[in-house]
Structures are given as C-alpha cells and as structure tokens.
Amino acid sequence: MFSHVVIFWTQPGKAGAAEALIAGAHQYLKPCPGILQFHVGRMVPSHRAVVDQSYQVALNLIFADKAAQDAYQVHPLHVEFVEKVFKGNCERAVVYDFAD
C-alpha cells in the first residue's frame, strides 16, 4: 500500500477556501483511477499539544503502490484540481508519502 497525505493551509482571509478545497477534491480527485481509499476533511481541534492545529484541510489517499500514485500525479483531473482549486485557495501544502 502507498499512502499520499497532503496538508493544506488556505489563504488567510479568503472566505470559503477550506470548503472549496474539500469540494474540489471530491469533484476532481476522488474520480481519479487508482485511488483505493479517499478521505478529505477539516482539521479537528485537539487539547493535545502534540497535534498540529495550524492547517485547515487534509487529504489522505491510498494507492496499491507508488506507480499508481505516480500515474495519479499526472492525471488530467489532478492537474485540473491544482490549477482550478489549489492555486486559488492555498497558501501552502506539505505532502507526506509512505509505503509498507
């Protein structure tokens, strides 16, 4: 299995940016071939100091292997998400990829 986790920080002061990211992920990313599991949502507040609470949205995708994730990266729907949704709503993103 290959996990692709993306943490998004939205543009400060842009109303609706988190909602636009979530909706855009459902519209453009979820239909991409090769995704075995799709999960996107807002940061959940925590009383635990170890929990990062500085971001607004996270995306977690599971693929069968790295090759499937590599194909996803160049898929037209992913490219469209980056151009139409990510660039207009995000200030920053960090990606964590790992495999077993």
Q: What's the pLDDT tens digit per position in 72-87? A: 999 999 999 999 999 9
24 domain-assigned: yes
Q: How far apart are CA 10 and CA 23, in angstroms?
A: 14
Q: What is the pLDDT of residue 25?
A: 98
In the structure encoding, which two tokens stand for residue 39, read together?
């999960």
Query: Residue 3 CA to chain centroid, in angstroms?
Result: 12
Query: How many domains does the chain divide into?
Result: 1
Q: For residue range 20-75, what is the model confidence (pLDDT) as tens digits?
A: 999 999 999 999 999 999 999 999 999 999 999 999 999 999 999 999 999 999 99
- The model carries a pTM of 0.95
Q: How far apart are CA 71 and CA 79, in angstroms?
A: 11
49 domain-assigned: no
Residue 86: which domain range?
2-44+56-99
